[in-house]
């Protein structure tokens, strides 16, 4: 009997797709990060406003922590810029031949934007 066609997560992750595949994986992870953030926010607001519950405050502490904020800011910036790159390539398929350049351009936008944001966030965090 033939072995199933199912591709395990570990088998897929071992495929050496290079930079573009990494961008796709990061796009998925950052999308999940944003969903988690929004979900936590909605749940916290619901419990705080409806029941005045401490549970909402506990959830607030999670997503307002500096580590979570640093993660979520990266998710939002990467997801936005990479998504925009994909939309541009989808609308103008002839640009797909420049996809490597588009990936460099993307990081050229993301890194200074994220670096500046992190700098301001940490500065404010240290100021209390």
Partner 1 sequence: MQVTLKIFRYNPEDNRKKHFDTFTVEAEPTDRILDLLERIKGTEDGTLGFRRACAHGVCGSDAIRINGVNRLACKVLVQDLKSRKVTIEPILGLPIEKDLIVDMEPFFDHYRSVMPYFVNDDPPPSKERLQSPEERERFDDTTKCILCAACSTSCPSFWVNDKYVGPAAIVNAHRFIFDSRDQAAAERLEILNEQFGVFRCHTIFNCTDACPRDIQVTQAIGEVKKAIIDRNLE
Applying CB under 8 A, does 32 fall inside the site for partner 1? no
Distances (CA, A) of 25 to 18, 29, 95, 102: 11, 6, 22, 17
Contact with partner 1 (CB under 8 A) among 50, 67, 91, 126 = 91
C-beta neighbour count of 30 within 10 angstroms = 21
Using an 8 Å Cβ cutoff, are 33 and 75 in contact? yes
Q: Give, to the nearest 10 degrees, the angle between helix 54-63 and helix 66-91.
A: 60
Tell me which stretch binds partner 1 (CB under 8 A): 6-14, 39-47, 57-65, 113-121.
6-14
CB of 23 to partner 1, least distance (A): 8
111 CB-side CA count, 13 A: 6
Contact with partner 1 (CB under 8 A) among 11, 50, 126, 128 = 11
Applying CB under 8 A, does 16 fall inside the site for partner 1? yes
Residues that bind partner 1 in the complex, under the rule CB under 8 A? 1-5, 7, 11-12, 14-18, 20-21, 24, 86, 89-91, 93-94, 96-97, 99
């Amino acid at each position: 009997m033939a072995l199933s066609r199912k591709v395990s997560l570990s088998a897929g992750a071992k495929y050496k797709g290079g930079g573009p595949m990494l961008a796709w994986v990061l796009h998925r992870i950052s999308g999940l990060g944003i969903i988690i953030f929004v979900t936590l926010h909605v749940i916290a607001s619901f419990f705080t406003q409806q029941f005045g519950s401490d549970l909402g405050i506990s959830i607030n502490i999670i997503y307002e922590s500096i580590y979570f904020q640093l993660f979520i800011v990266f998710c939002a910036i990467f997801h936005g810029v990479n998504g925009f790159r994909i939309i541009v390539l989808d609308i103008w398929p002839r640009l797909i031949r420049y996809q490597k350049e588009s990936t460099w351009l993307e990081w050229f936008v993301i890194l200074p934007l994220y670096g500046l944001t992190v700098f301001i966030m940490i500065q404010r965090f240290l100021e209390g």
